[in-house]
Amino acid sequence: MNERIERLRTESFEAPVTLDHERAEIITDFYRENNGKYSVPVTRALAFRTLCEKKSIYIGKDELVVGERGPLPKCVSTYPELNCHSLEDLEILDTRDKNPYRVSEKCKEVYRDKVIPYWRGRTMRDRIFADIGEEWKNTYAAGYFTEFMEQRAPNDPEATKRREQLKAMDIACDAVIIFAERHADLASRMAASESDPARKKELEKIASNCRRVPRRAPGDFWEALQMYWFMHLGTITELNGWDAMNPGHLDRYFYPFYARELENGTLSREWAKELLSAFWIKFNNHPAPPKVGVTAAESGTYNDFTNINLGGLLKSVEDAREGGTSGCVETGAFGKEAYILTGYLNTPKIFELALNNGIDPVSGKRIGPETGDPSRFRTFDDLYGAFEKQLNHIVEIKVKGNQFIERMYADYAPAVFLSVLTDDCIKKGRDYNDGGPRYNTNYIQCVGIGTMTDSLSALKKHVFEEKAFSVEDVIQALRSNFEGHEAMRLTFVNKTPRWGNDDDYADDIMKRVFESLFSEIDGRPNTKGGRYHIDMLPTTCHIYFGSITGATPDGRKAGLPLSEGISPVQGADRNGPTAVIRSCGKMDHIRTGGTLLNMKFMPRILEGEEGIDKLAKLVRTYFRYDGHHIQFNVVDSGTLRDAQAHPENYRDLIVRVAGYSDYFCDIGLDLQEEIISRTAHEEV
């Protein structure tokens, strides 16, 4: 790493995370003056252009690739048109212990005097909660799921809608060109006053890059990097960054420029690496780092450029090969798909309904249908049938609500610039949020399958087979959070066949739960011509879902996290890592959009070439079982405990959380504890 990259990296790492009000203020001023004057797509496009014309621009001292989401690195924009923060929200963000956002008094003032008064009752969230049914609201509030989000004849209203959409896309294209040219002007001014000849030359080249792209196709490697970055900034300026835009196959996009310049002598490998490093540092200021993919010719493309850079469902074969990992671990068709994660399903809490005849034990409200007094269930199948009826009821509510939300986004929040970049939107004249992309896929993320499996296993074995406890005994123990029932809880914990141990008793139950989830969700139509499928990853929802779910029959106490992804319940995998992957290999991963398996190893077992070779063989074995995604934390619990006590000594300690990485010292205590509680395997 050369001195420039070291400085840029340090500056990026040390820059304070700041909540910036600039975007919110610009968008509020625009809507106050223009709302209702134009069609919704054109209004959104003009708002985007106004942002590109007015938002502050920044070029750092050593930067080679330019452009930021906010006025400075690590400035986080807000999106009041989608959901407006309250003053209480800003105060919490500013003062919380973990991962705070610096919120200036000026920001609070702008929100108090301008942003909140205008957007109250006008945001997408307000529209949704004002019009959606009470059944959906009650089920959402109780924690059973969460939300994430041809040419016609003349005079046909669809033709008018299509013309307005194409007009909006044209405006959005002009907007990002304006944004680039503003950076060109700034770079030219900086070059004019720069005394260092080398930096002056760099600034002149930066200005040239920004005048060429994205107005025209890039002509060299540096321009290609800058063009991509402007496209990425455009999408996250228009949309909430939580949408986690994936850049796609960067190695394949950039390699032709790299190879051509390398061959003609206008680019050295060292300079290419420096440019790439500067490019990657830009991502460090933003979420969702990009992934690398495959070619049609082979799986696992590797070339010299890949080396320095690394330092599908119902899709055509060609489009599937062009795709790759989207979001956390899910698969998507890059540039061709509206890949929408429509929220998370709290599977163990749905099972609570079956144990309480449709009543939510926390609120006392009837959330599900009457499926019978569980004390009268005579067989395990009776109990499981009640669960399936509750599952059907919750999924029906969830999907019905999703259909409403989809139409709200299509009608009131079109993603005009993203539509320009997504195949078939222009051809159809339809927005990204309105069925424009070639593929329109919805996923529901199913959470807690390990907790669910072990709970059912405990009831099947100890209640229905061995008759050690009655259903009434178990329900009483759950309602009391096992107070006075510790012997029962320990029986469930220690004498139950559990998921993740290559035990067919438990693994067959997992397969049954998986089939129920798949059959209930997969293939349901959405409103955009696509269909629903399932994912098996929680992001961090297993923490929240656990906090509002009572005690469960696997011995878990109320409020503790649910199992994570398709991983076994924390601490329940006792037969080693090969048993875990054999259990997980029994799941039909191919029928999902993505599954997530987390494992933790003690550092000493991966020391040396032999340890690395063992880990590689474990991964290859898992994929021979058709596993989808496996990831590791190689750290001992003592190190993590010390990081909790002395965070200043572990500022760069990174852990795998769910399908993403984060700095351990920045995540909340509940999530830290969940990671520590995962089984630390001492052998491969």
- Cβ atoms 567, 596 nearer than 8 A: yes
12-18-21 Cα angle (round to 5): 135
State the catalytic residue, choosing from 328, 446, 541, 665.
328
Closest among 123, 129, 137, 85 to 107, alpha carbons compared? 85
| Bridge partners, 681 (sequence order) | 601
Q: Give the amino acid at 486.
A: E
Give Cα 203 to chain centroid, integer Å.
Answer: 36
And the tokens for 618?
Answer: 């474990």
Q: Give the amino acid at 125.
A: R
- Cβ atoms 257, 214 nearer than 8 A: no
Residue 169, Cβ density class (10 Å: 0-12 exposed, 13-18 middle, ≥19 buried): buried
Annotate 77-127 with DSSP letters as a single string.
P--TTT-PPPHHHHHHHHH-SSS--B--HHHHHHIIIIIHHHHTTTSHHHH
Phi, psi of 332 (to 5 degrees): -150, 165
User: Are β-strands 630-634 and 592-595 bridged in parallel, bridged antiparallel, or unpaired?
Assistant: unpaired
CA atoms within 13 A on the CB side of 580: 28
User: CB within 8 A of 322, min separation 6: which ones?
Assistant: 249, 293, 296, 333, 334, 335, 336
- Cβ atoms 684, 611 nearer than 8 A: yes
Closest among 191, 203, 189 to 64, alpha carbons compared? 203
- What is the C-alpha to C-alpha distance for residues 64 and 326, in angstroms, rounded to an integer? 27
Annotate 631-662 with DSSP letters as a single string.
EEEE--HHHHHHHHH-GGG-TT-EEE-SSSEE
Is 328 a residue of the active site? yes
| Bridge partners, 75 (sequence order) | 18
And the tokens for 120?
Answer: 């109250």
State the catalytic residue, choosing from 238, 330, 337, 564.
330
CA atoms within 13 A on the CB side of 13: 12
SS3 178: helix
Closest among 366, 378, 539 to 463, alpha carbons compared? 378
And the tokens for 94?
Answer: 């500013």
Rg (the chain; Cα; Å):
26
And the tokens for 441?
Answer: 């896929």
Q: Do you find a cis peptide bond into 437, omega within 30 degrees of 0? A: no
Tell me how far CA of residue 169 lies from CA of 4, 129, 339, 350, 575, in angstroms. 38, 29, 20, 43, 56
| Bridge partners, 439 (sequence order) | 337
And the tokens for 221?
Answer: 């490697």
- What is the C-alpha to C-alpha distance for residues 411 and 404, in angstroms, rounded to an integer? 11
Query: Residues with catalytic annotation?
Result: 328, 330
